[in-house]
Structure 1
């Protein structure tokens, strides 16, 4: 899965990032390497949490409907 991440330089040093397609998914890091590791972990946790509660990424609740045609 590929996902777009917005990366910003923090005023106090280091970096922070957010994932526009996953509301509330953001993190920070002192270096770009740390930021990349942290944002991967944040995305994985976000998606795992959505899967656990039955929502789509981005917070939309839904259900699966199976039809025979």
Structure 2
């Protein structure tokens, strides 16, 4: 068991909604740390609980939030590199524009 004296820690949480309308939250810094609920207020309460439980068993993996993208796979696998290249070019344009 990991001993933890948690005073203040910030976790990135990914929240999605499934086909049945449930909100599903995943904490990438903690392996297998996820929960679900019908409403967002209920989900937030469950997140507090599941994060505390996961911290009893493991140390969080240090991670830095960068971005969230929805990645759509279309056609055959040969197009994936082209899609990724398009994202990189778009990121370069945004980066360049922010320096101007």
Would you say same fold, with TM above 0.5?
A: yes
Is the radius of gyration larger for structure 1 or structure 2? Answer: 2
Measured in 2, the distance between the counterparts of 1:23 and 1:46 equals 8
Provide the residue aligned with 2:33 in structure 1. Answer: 25
Output the TM-score relative to the length of structure 2.
0.49
- Tell me the alpha carbon deviations over residues 14-53 of structure 1, each in whole angstroms, 9 at most, x when there is no partner: 2001001111000000000011111111000000223xxx
Runs (4 or more) in structure 1 with deviation over 6 Å come to none
RMSD: 1.1
Q: Which runs of 5+ in 1 are unaligned?
A: 51-55, 59-69
Q: Which runs of 5+ in 2 are unaligned?
A: 1-8, 62-100
Q: When you count helix as a share of all residues, which structure comes out higher?
A: 2
Q: When you count strand as a share of all residues, which structure comes out higher?
A: 1
Provide the residue aligned with 1:36 in structure 2. Answer: 44
